Amino acid sequence: MNRNKKIFAKILISASLLIINGFLPIPDRSYLQLAIYLVIYGIIGGDIVKKAVKNIIHGQVFDENFLMVVATIGAFFVGDYIEGVAVMLFFQIGELFQSYAVNQSRKSISQLMDIRPDYAHLKIGETFEQVDPDEVEIGDTILVKPGERVPVDGVVTKGSGLLDTSALTGESVPRRVTIEDAVLSGCINTSGVLELKVTEEFGDSTVNKILDLVENASSKKAASENFITKFARYYTPTVVFLALALALIPPILTGGNFSEWVHRALTFLVISCPCALVISVPLSFFGGIGGASKLGILIKGSNYLEALAQTDTIVFDKTGTLTKGTFEVQHIQPVNLSKEELLKLTAYMESFSTHPIGASLKQAYGKDIDKNQVTDLEELAGYGLKGKVFGKSMLVGNEKLMKQEQIDYLVPEEIGTLVHVAINQSYAGYIVIADQLKVDAKQAIYDLQHQHRINTVMLTGDTKETGEAVASSLGIPKVYTQLLPGDKVTQLETLLKEEKAGHKLAFVGDGINDAPVLARADIGIAMGGLGSDAAIEAADIVIMTDEPSRISTAIHLSRKTLKIVKENIVFAIVIKVLFLILGALGIASMGGAVFADVGVTVIAVLNAMRCLNVKPFEKEISQSKARQTMSPASSTN
C-alpha cells in the first residue's frame, strides 16, 4: 500500500470511529472514553509521534511533528480529548493533500525519466545483438526498430523514418530523418528501420545529460526556499518558548486558571506550525521545473528559475541562435556571363571545400561536380581560392583578394557574405550568401520586449553591416559586431556592470564558442536540441527545441511560479500572525487553530499546484507556430 492510501485509510478509520464513539453512552472524561480516544489517536497520529521522537533523538527537535505532538497530547492532559484527536486528523488530511500534490509534481519528472532506454541492438559481425546501452562505443553501428527508443546519439547510415521527439522537446510533430541526419537519444522511432553510427557513448549522450539535469535540479535552491528554511529554523523554537510563556506567566502574574492558559498555549502551538511555508514554497518551484520540462525547457535548479523571473536584459548570440546557422545563396550578379555559368564555375572552385559558404554554393548549384575539372587549386588564407576550372584561371574570394590581384570589382548594396569571382584576371561578378533567420526569431524578440518588458541585445562576430541588418530586421535596438569569443565575454561583463541591483542578465547561445559567455552571465540559456555539448554543460537553462520563442515561454512560466511563491508566503504569514494573536488572546478556538494550520497549508498547496498547469503555455506555443506558418522565413539581408 502506498503512502497516500495508508494516510487515507487512517483518516477513514479514525473518522468512522469518532462518529461511532459519538453515539456510545460513555460518560465524559471517563477512563473508558480516554482509552477509546487514545486508540483513535494511536491510529491517526501514531506515525507522527514516531517521527517526532525519532527527530528528537537525531537532534531535530523543533519541527511540525513536534509541535503537533505537544499540542495534541497537551489537549488530552487538559481533558480536550476530541480536540486532540481532531487536530491530528486534520493534520493528516493536510499531509494527504501535500503528498498528492508532490506526487503530481513528480509525475511530470517521472514521465521524463521514461526516456531512459533499456537496451540497444549492436551490430556484431553481420548480426545485431541486444546489449546494455553502456556497452555501445563511439563508431559502433546500432539498429533502431519502429516503436523503439533511440539508446545513444548517432548519425543515420541506413534507412529513414519519423522520430517522436516530444519527450525531449515537447514538440508533438514527428521529425523525419534520413541518411546523414543526426539523431538524439531518447527519441522514439515511429516508422522505418534505422541504422545509426554511434557518435556519443551512453554516459555522454543527450538522454543521460537530461536525466542528470532533472534529477539534480532540486538540489539548487532558490533564495525564497533558503529564506523559508532559515525562517523555520528560528521561527519554530521561538513560538514553542512563546507558548510556554503563555501557559505559565499570565496565570502566575494574575492568579488565573492554569487550564485556560494551557489551552491557549496549545492552540497557539497548533496555529504556529509553519507547514504552509515549508511545504508550498519548494512545491511551487518543483512544479514550475516539472511543468517546464513538459515544454522542452530544462531548468537546472529553482535558483535559476527564480533568477529568470528577475531577468530584465537578454543578450543573444546571432548565428545558430537567432539565425539557422546555414548559409544560402541570396543573389547572383554576373558580369558578361549568365547567372547559371557564374554559379557553376564558383561551385566547381568550392567543390573541395568543407566551409559552410562552399557548401551553400554547391547546394545552390545542385548538380554533380566532376572534380577532375578543377586543377591547380590553392587556398589563400583570409582571401579565398585560386585555381583552374575547365582550363580557365579562377579567383574566388573576398574584396581583399580582388584588391591584391588589382581587379576592379563591384560594391553591391546587398547585405551578406560576398563572394567575388574573377575569370582570367577579369571581374566576372559576385554572389551574395546570407544566413537565414529562424522562423520565430522576430516574434520571440517582439514578445520579450512588449509582453515581458525585457531589453534585448545582440552580439556577433559578423561585419558591422551584416550584424546591424540582422538586428534591424529583428527589432533589436543594440548590437555589437566583429566580436571574437573573448570579446563577447568582455562585452558581456560591461553589460553586467550596467545592470541595476536585483536585476538579472541572461545570455542565449548555442555554439561551443558561446560556452564562456554562457558561464559568465547571471543566467546562461543554451539552445540545446542542436547545440554543442559544451554550451549545454555551461548553461543554467537548456531549450531543447531550436525555437527562440521558447525563451519567452520560459520567462512567462518563471514569473508565474515566482508570483505563486510570493502569494503563498504572504498569505501564510498574514493568516498565521492574525491567528497567533487571536489564539494568545483566547479568541481563536482549537477549530480556528486547525484552519490556521491545516486549512492554510491545503490552500497554499492547491495554489502551488497551479505551477503544474502548462496548458496556457502549450496554447501559447501552438499559437506561435500558427503565426510561423503564415510568415515565411526571411534571410538576414
Comparing C-alpha atoms, which of 410, 413, 442, 440 is closest to residue 426? 410
**Pick the catalytic residue: 317, 440, 447, 510?**
317
Residue for cell digits 581583399? Answer: 400
For residue 136, the tally of other CB atoms under 10 A from its CB is 24
Looking only at the bridges linking them, the beta strands covering 175-177 and 154-158 are: unpaired
Grid coordinates given for 385? 581560392
User: Cβ neighbours of residue 199 under 8 Å, at least 6 residues apart?
Assistant: 138, 153, 154, 155, 182
Taking alpha carbons only, the member of 522, 473, 429 closest to residue 635 is 473
Distance between CA atoms of residues 159 and 156, nearest Å: 7
Crossing angle of helices 549-584/258-272, nearest 10°?
180
> Is the Cβ–Cβ distance between 184 and 150 less than 8 Å?
yes
The CA–CA distances, whole Å, from 558 to 8, 189, 289, 312, 614 equal 33, 32, 9, 13, 12
Amino acid at 28: D
Strand 455-459 with 478-480, pairing: parallel
What is the residue type of 207? V
CB-count burial class (<10 Å; 0-12, 13-18, 19+) for 498: exposed
CA distance 189 to 184: 11
The neighbouring-strand residues paired with 385 are 379, 396
- The span from the CA of 550 to the CA of 612, in Å, is 17
Q: Is 276 left (phi over 0), alpha (psi -120 to 50) or beta?
A: alpha
The alpha carbon of 235 is separated from its chain's Cα centroid by a whole number of angstroms, namely: 33
Residue 47 is among the residues annotated as catalytic for this protein = no
Active site residues: 317
